[in-house]
Structure 1
């Protein structure tokens, strides 16, 4: 009854009063009009509603933890000790009481504390995330700044236009997910979609976590959206969900695996669609492998990082962020436990995206490492080079960010390829070959391999750029090339903040320039030190 009364009051108020006044009135209703005591009661009720709605075993499973039910008990491999690699699950989960307890390390808590400790979220962030996932009534009317400490920024209010676009995108996401969940007929496009996910190691839990869906095409989505009372046709066209030719409308995305793109607060703002089969000869331009939503008032490709809403907590907790190029690269890394990975939706990495990526690192992370793991092709190399030439890498370095440039081992061209091959090779071993336990252990092992072989060995951006500067001289060994190299290396080294950093890189570059000539190496070290000191004395 209270919900009906609130709806009627909201409708009447919105016709007569400004949005700001309506929002304030609703907040008073939700929290009580008697000042602090009313707000406290409202917040307490909200927290209780979140705990009732959130199914703890789902929350833990959605975080990539292996959960299993057996003999009336729900157990999980505890992620808080041994990196979640224990063979026998030791964490007990009680969905009825909403609590967990590990018999090995004694970690305990509820859904909110799990997200705090496992995802690195602040209390308010965890509450808001669970409220969004489980559609808790009153979430929009609660003053989110009061939900908990930790410096978590509340989601900014949306304008009416933005609300309409988000509503259209989220309705489309629900329709695409429902189509994916439906039973697929053999040989159909839906079956191709299921096979594409299966071949990439995307199980149902991972598909649900990322909200993956299936677009049949034709007018399936167009008709569905037209039947939704809260979805505006204008917003559907503006968001690029449907194409309006003036005479008729049809779906923009057809026969594709659908990948929703969220903003930093978990709201669906756009989509990427991956083709399920190669285009007919001569129709490649009409049917690209990836088709993205058009830019809109809520979506800008250059201002968005894919999977950021899922990764930001892990970034803060790990003190490390990884930027890859594509959707599948990010999903693949998350599937093997590298939860601090995001994708830049192409090679044109912007200042806005970099700022977004480092914000969790600047918010109390134990360290501040940003790893660029772009594709190993020429486009990926050029993208990194452009970041250096624009001064973006130097600016990050000046803010205390340790920027690293990862290179994919031969013959892999991107993180997705590496993960698929590594997981497959590990799974073929007898110890990992049987059942879901073997699959989970293989995924963890593949994640550790990527971390140790790719991320942990990634050179600093200065070393990466320096090696590219040295390449022409190493190929020609001409005196003119040597002088040009030294001049560019001095400019590069001037960006380093401390004498120790400079000395380490000077010794490296002098050794690479001189090859096996120790005398030349010593002379080059002296020259670099002297030139660098004249140009920019170290701090």
Structure 2
């Protein structure tokens, strides 16, 4: 009976491993795992751990490792199908009926394994022959030890277009084609896929050869040939679901607690040659969602370690983009940024293994990498540039599916953006203007000039475009210590609204003379128009707590600047809609949503005032 990998994965997912093992072994909770003394060897201190989330058990003493099926077959001695049927019954799953076609496909895969296994033996023999001298010289220049060459199965493919066909003549041509070892072109005789290349076998998680990768040795003789060539997708090999070296790296990762993802298989071998065994590599493609899931089965935070050039950084960002929608609690990525132009092998050869270990130990979080990459992606010399940075960050945030993680990313990235775009100003030097009296220095409250008073009067009597603007001006007169902290926002408002520009200039000028440590106020010898008695802005009420009033005033200043900017952007999006309806619908919808949210914030002032009034009446 042939059981598909997908069906077996579903069975494992529906099975609680600790419940199965706990029937015959006493388990103790240890964080998110369970532990016990290993049943496969005698020990007094527990080194046997069960992880329900990852679906496997592992003993750090005797290296026993497996899933629920393996537990029943190894510990209880059950035949494979009996173990599967028992677990399926408990999980409420039907064991698939025998399928002749599935059995035929399984038989074909087994035959293809014979092809790739025979090809691997032939490639390895070629490396040790006279023909393999150039390949052996290349491996020597790379500094690979004999143990590494044997462990990873290096081989050599001769330049002859029919050499493999002759060597594997016991296999029919269709099998060689289906295994990806030969190429068929219409109107021409088939020929060997790999020629004049250093060969590397690619294994599945069970350690069986399923495909090959080949590095060209004489690029001058073949200027148009790719430097690296992999097998095509076959019934054995799906490059988007395969990670090179995973069958070796997974046991090492269980010991070290880390999994390293490098850009290519030669990088993975270079790390193993230096003593870092837990490295894997994608195979000619960007890291896929399936490969990320494979990594998360091993560790919760795999480390991406791509080359330090632009291509390597783009590969890291593509992986991050794939991972963002998949993020879930305790599952993320870490990223190592190597020196420019360096790959892991370069760093180890030039600076030693300690430099590589230090880089891995200082891997950046996914969020840190996202922030640094987008901040460096374009110039940030103008408000428009900074707005573009904010938009790019929010686009990444929106890709995150998990609501809690999305909210936390949004909060963190916006806080970083605010600190970057609006850095705190250095404290201003206070120059006393007054005289010493009993009790210390008393700075006189600055008096508005007639011209400044006239500007403020015009703004508050109707020159400002709406009630919110007039209320903010009145609020700043009442709390002048809030003028300088909002200097940038007020300057932006003055630029956008020429009717209130002169009034704001006057406020900024008089604020320069305030003694904020003494909470001095603005002297109004002839007074200004009083705000209306019935106002929806709590920061103008005498009964409002001064701290709460200042917070509301700060929110109002922010609204004054943000609303016109949003309205302007919406107008631009509407204009673009007339030229390109399909391209700007999403922009308009997003801007309208933000404008509605802003209006809700504006209404909050009214709700606050009404709530305060109700509370005082009761």
Contact 1:118 1:314 in 2 (8 A): no
| 1:316 Cα deviation after fit | 3.4
Which deviates more, 210-219 or 261-270? 210-219
Task: Give the Cα separation in 2 of the matches to 1:144 and 1:377.
Answer: 53
Counterpart for residue 167 of structure 1? 114
The change in CA–CA distance for 1:491 and 1:348 in structure 2 (over 3 A counts) is: closer
Q: Aligned pair in 2 of structure 1 residues 461, 124: CA closer, same or farther (>3 Å)? A: closer
- Alignment correspondent of 1:223: 166
Who is 2:444 aligned against? none
CA distance in 2: counterparts of 1:162 and 1:250, whole angstroms = 22
TM-score, reference length from structure 1: 0.57
3-state SS of paired residue (2:214): strand
Contact in 2 for aligned 1:347/1:379 (Cα 8 Å):
no
From 411, 418, 422, give the equivalent of 2:347. Answer: 418
Determine if the alignment matches structure 1 residue 379 to structure 2 residue 316: no
1:328-339 equivalences under 5 Å are 328-339=266-277
Q: 2:308, 2:341 within 8 Å by CA — same for their partners in 1?
A: no
Which residue does 2:358 correspond to in 1? 452
Aligned pair partner of 1:191 in 133, 145, 148: 133
1:321 corresponding residue in structure 2: 259
Q: Deviations over 1:436-486 (max 9, x none)?
A: xxxxxxxxxx1x431212x2222222221222322367x342112223333
State the match for 1:404 in structure 2: 334
Match of 1:462 among 352, 367, 381: 367
Change (3 A) 1:492 1:249: closer
Aligned residues: 363
Aligned-partner Cα distance in 1 for 2:487–2:112: 61
CA contact (8 A) 1:330 1:343 kept: yes
Alignment map for 1:40-51 (pairs within 5 Å):
none
Contact preservation (8 Å) 1:347, 1:380: no
Q: Distance in 2 between matches of 1:191 and 1:520?
A: 73
1:35 match: none
Query: Is the partner of 1:401 in helix, strand or coil?
Result: coil
Counterpart in the other structure of 2:385: 481
Alpha-carbon offset, residue 398 of structure 1? 2.0
SS at match of 2:229: strand
C-alpha offsets along residues 359-408 of structure 1, whole Å, 9 cap, x if unaligned? 222xxxxxx212222233333333333344xx532234224213122211
Distance 2:266 2:422 in 1: 42
Alpha carbons of structure 1 residues 170 and 465: separation in structure 2 relative to 1, 3 Å: same
User: In the alignment, which residue of structure 2 is the partner of 1:290?
Assistant: 228
Q: Which moved more, 1:303-312 or 1:461-470?
A: 461-470
The alpha carbon displacement at 1:515 in A equals 5.8
Conserved in 2, the CA contact under 8 Å of 1:396 and 1:403?
A: no
Deviation digits for residues 252-282 of structure 1, max 9, x if unmatched?
21221101111122111110111112233xx
Partner of 2:243: 305
Structure-2 separation of matches of 1:211 and 1:510: 53
Task: Say whether the 8 Å CA contact 1:241–1:252 is kept in structure 2.
Answer: yes
Q: 1:350 to 1:402 in 2, by over 3 A?
A: closer
SS at match of 2:306: coil
Do the aligned partners of 1:513 and 1:521 also contact (CA within 8 Å) in 2?
Answer: no
TM-score (norm 2): 0.50
Cα offset, 1:509, TM superposition: 4.2
User: What does the per-residue CA deviation read over 1:476-508, in whole Å, with 9 as the maximum and x for residues that have no partner?
Assistant: 421122233334435556756398877665554
**Mapping of residues 16-35 of structure 1, within 5 Å:** none
Change (3 A) 1:312 1:521: farther
Residue matched to 1:201: 143
Structure of greater Rg: 2
Distance 1:347 1:520 in 2: 49
Matching of residues 67-216 of structure 1 within 5 Å: 117=60, 122=65, 159-180=106-127, 182=128, 184-185=129-130, 189-216=131-158
CA distance in 2 between counterparts of 1:118 and 1:175 reads: 37
Q: d(CA) in 2 for partners of 1:522 and 1:312?
A: 54
Whether 1:270 aligns to 2:176 is no
3-state DSSP of counterpart to 1:405: strand
Alignment check: 8 A CA contact 2:230 2:283 kept: no
> Can you list the C-alpha shifts for 1:193-212, whole angstroms capped at 9, x where unaligned?
11111222222211222121
Question: 1:304–1:499: structure 2 CA closer, same or farther, 3 Å change rule?
Answer: closer
Q: CA RMSD in A?
A: 4.3
Equivalent-residue separation in structure 1 for 2:323 and 2:66 (angstroms): 33
Aligned to 1:255: 196
- Shift of residue 310 of structure 1? 1.0
Match for residue 436 of structure 2? none
Partner residue of 1:89? Answer: none
Structure 1 unaligned regions, length at least 5: 1-18, 22-98, 100-106, 108-114, 129-140, 147-155, 362-367, 424-445
Conserved in 2, the CA contact under 8 Å of 1:124 and 1:144? no
